[in-house]
Amino acid sequence: MKNISLFVCLCLTLLSVVSVTWAWLPSQNPIRGVNLGGLFVSEQWMMNDQWNSIGCGGRNDEWECVQALGQGKADAAFQQHWSTWITQADITEIASYGLNTVRIPLGFWMKEDLVRSDEHFPRGGFPYLEQICRWARDAGLYIILDLHAGPGGQDKNEQFTGHSVNYPNFFRSDNYERAYEFLEWLTETRHTNKNFANVGAIEVMNEPRPETDIEKKSLLDKYNPTAYDRIRAVEDRLGITQNNQLHIQFMGSRWGEGNPIQHWGSAPYFSLFDDHKYLHWDNGVPATRRDYLTHSCYDNVGAGSNSGNKPLIVGEWSLSPRDGDNAAFNISASDAVSWYGQWFAAQLRDYEKQRGWVFWSWKTNWIGGRNDWRWGYQQAVRAGVIPKSIDDAVAMNVKRVSTPHSPFPDEDSGDRDLQQTLEQEGGTLVTVTVQDS
* Class of CATH domain 19-394: alpha beta
Q: For residue 28, what pLDDT is reported?
A: 65
**357 φ/ψ angles, rounded to the nearest 5 degrees:** -155, 160
Task: Delimit the domains of the chain by residue range.
Answer: 19-394
Q: For residue 370, what pLDDT is reported?
A: 85
Are the C-beta atoms of 208 and 151 separated by less than 8 Å? no
Are the C-beta atoms of 276 and 326 separated by less than 8 Å? no
Are the C-beta atoms of 279 and 322 separated by less than 8 Å? yes
Q: For residue 27, what pLDDT is reported?
A: 63
| Tens place of pLDDT per residue across the chain (437 aa) | 433 334 444 433 333 333 334 456 766 689 999 999 999 999 999 999 999 999 999 999 999 999 999 999 999 999 999 999 999 999 999 999 999 999 999 999 999 999 999 999 999 999 999 999 999 999 999 999 999 999 999 999 999 999 999 999 999 999 999 999 999 999 999 999 999 999 999 999 999 999 999 999 999 999 999 999 999 999 999 999 999 999 999 999 999 999 999 989 899 999 999 999 999 999 899 999 999 999 999 999 999 999 999 999 999 999 999 988 888 999 999 999 999 999 999 999 999 999 999 999 999 998 888 889 999 999 999 999 999 999 998 886 444 333 333 222 232 333 333 333 233 323 333 334 434 33
Is cis: bond before 311, omega within 30 of 0?
A: yes
Are the C-beta atoms of 9 and 431 separated by less than 8 Å? no
Q: Is 105 helix (H, G, I), strand (E, B) or coil?
A: strand
Are the C-beta atoms of 255 and 207 separated by less than 8 Å? yes
For helices 88-96 and 126-138, the axis angle rounded to 10 degrees is 30
DSSP states along 284-349: TS-SSHHHHHHHHHH--TTSGGGTTS-SEEEEEE-S--TTTTSTTT-TTSTTHHHHHHHHHHHHHH
Q: For residue 326, what pLDDT is reported?
A: 87
Exposed, middle or buried by CB within 10 Å (0-12, 13-18, 19+), for 317?
buried
**340 φ/ψ angles, rounded to the nearest 5 degrees:** -65, -30
Catalytic residue among 43, 93, 316, 352: 316
Query: Whole-structure pTM over 0.75, yes or no?
Result: yes
d(CA 373, CA 338): 13
Catalytic residue among 207, 235, 257, 352: 207
Exposed, middle or buried by CB within 10 Å (0-12, 13-18, 19+), for 259?
middle
Closest of 203, 71, 211, 201 to residue 152, by C-alpha? 211
Q: For residue 26, what pLDDT is reported?
A: 64
Catalytic site includes residue 316 = yes
Q: From its phi and psi, is residue 129 left (phi > 0), alpha (psi between -120 and 50) or beta?
A: alpha
Number of Cβ within 10 Å of residue 235's Cβ equals 19
